[in-house]
């Protein structure tokens, strides 16, 4: 299901292809001062102050997180990049949702003590993994193709842990904790569907043009570059905070 793309091209075409990669990298660095799982100060204050069940507000916060979570969106973009049939898209997105939802809830309820920097570095690694998978690198380098469904589920676990580490920092009141967490998780999935719809609309228009296959290599190199930048940023934060 994962095409093998060729990176060979004339020098002029390679030079032009490098431009969007550099632009994408610059945009990623520009937003790197805020964690991919960060929550706005106003939302943070609200979470810390309320008690009891507040289902609709937590649904809204969950949806807002997913729509603005660029690490999630990069990974989803890579996952559906070469998926054309709706049933395949549904399977992969469902696996990601199961993984994300499971560790989001368990990570908060069982108060897991894991460094958010390391988790977010692994999330950056998930973006790199998927870009390399789309480029057919594993077959060329190792002669094997990883189980893409299992990888999507496993990385979904880490994406959920990433958000759980941030939620734990807010010390949500125990009164109404489980219903609020479930509502937040519902919001995350709603946000994921909205983000996925926007990505698919954009991809649908792009795939109808002749530039899709010509620039697919460049797009995945750009995604891989962004993933490496995320890894570097998070590992630097981990070292500094140690």
- The DSSP result for 122-142, as a single string, is HHHHHHHHHHHHHTTHHHHHH
Q: What is the mean pLDDT of residues 103-120?
A: 86
- pLDDT at residue 27, as a whole number: 47
CB neighbour burial string for 4-42, b if at least 16 within 10 angstroms, e if fewer:
ebeeeeeeeeeeebeeebeebeeebeeebeebbbebeee
Q: Could you tell me the pLDDT band of residue 74, with boundaries at 50, 70 and 90?
A: very high
Of 14, 11, 1, nearest in space to 215 by CA: 14
Q: Could you tell me the pLDDT band of residue 41, with boundaries at 50, 70 and 90?
A: low
**Is residue 23 predicted with pLDDT exceeding 90?**
no
Distance separating alpha carbons of residues 56 and 95, to the nearest angstrom: 25
Distance separating alpha carbons of residues 107 and 18, to the nearest angstrom: 40
Supply the Cα-derived Rg of the chain in whole angstroms: 19
| 171 conformational bin, left if phi > 0, alpha if psi -120 to 50, beta if neither | left
Q: The tokens of 119 are what?
A: 């988790």
Mean residue pLDDT across the chain: 82
Q: What is the mean pLDDT of residues 34-57?
A: 70
- pLDDT at residue 172, as a whole number: 77
Distance separating alpha carbons of residues 194 and 86, to the nearest angstrom: 15
Domain range list for the chain: 55-241
DSSP for 72-115 reads HHHHHHHHTTT--SHHHHHHHHHHHHHHHHHHHHHHHHTT----
Least confident interval from 20-29, 40-49, 73-82, 131-140? 20-29
Q: What is the mean pLDDT of residues 111-139?
A: 91
Of 99, 32, 28, 63, nearest in space to 197 by CA: 63
CB atoms within 10 A of CB 98: 15
The percent of residues above 70 in pLDDT, for the chain, comes to 82
**Is residue 200 predicted with pLDDT exceeding 90?**
yes
Distance (Å) of CA 113 to CA 24, 164, 196? 33, 10, 31
Least confident interval from 3-17, 175-189, 192-206? 3-17
Q: What is the mean pLDDT of residues 220-234?
A: 94
- pLDDT at residue 154, as a whole number: 96
**SS3 of residue 180 by DSSP:** helix
Q: Could you tell me the pLDDT band of residue 31, with boundaries at 50, 70 and 90?
A: very low
């Amino acid at each position: 299901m994962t095409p093998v793309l060729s990176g060979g091209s004339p020098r002029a075409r390679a030079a032009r292809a490098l431009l969007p990669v550099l632009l994408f990298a610059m945009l990623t660095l520009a937003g790197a001062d805020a964690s991919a799982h960060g929550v706005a100060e106003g939302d943070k204050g609200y979470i810390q102050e309320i008690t009891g069940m507040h289902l609709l507000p937590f649904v809204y916060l969950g949806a807002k997180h997913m729509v603005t979570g660029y690490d999630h969106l990069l990974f989803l973009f890579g996952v559906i990049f070469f998926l054309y049939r709706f049933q395949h898209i549904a399977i992969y997105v469902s696996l990601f949702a199961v993984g994300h939802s499971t560790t989001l809830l368990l990570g908060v309820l069982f108060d897991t003590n894991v460094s958010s920097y390391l988790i977010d570095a692994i999330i950056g690694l998930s973006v790199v993994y998927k870009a390399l998978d789309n480029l057919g690198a594993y077959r060329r380098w190792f002669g094997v193709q990883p189980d893409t469904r299992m990888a999507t589920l496993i990385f979904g676990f880490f994406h959920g842990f990433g958000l759980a580490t941030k939620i734990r920092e807010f010390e949500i009141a125990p009164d109404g904790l489980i219903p609020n967490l479930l509502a937040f998780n519902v919001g995350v999935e709603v946000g994921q569907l909205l983000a996925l719809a926007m990505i698919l609309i954009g991809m649908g228009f792009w795939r109808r043009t002749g530039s899709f296959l010509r620039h697919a290599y460049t797009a995945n190199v750009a995604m891989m570059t962004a993933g490496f930048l995320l890894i570097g940023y998070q590992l630097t934060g981990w070292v500094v905070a140690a």
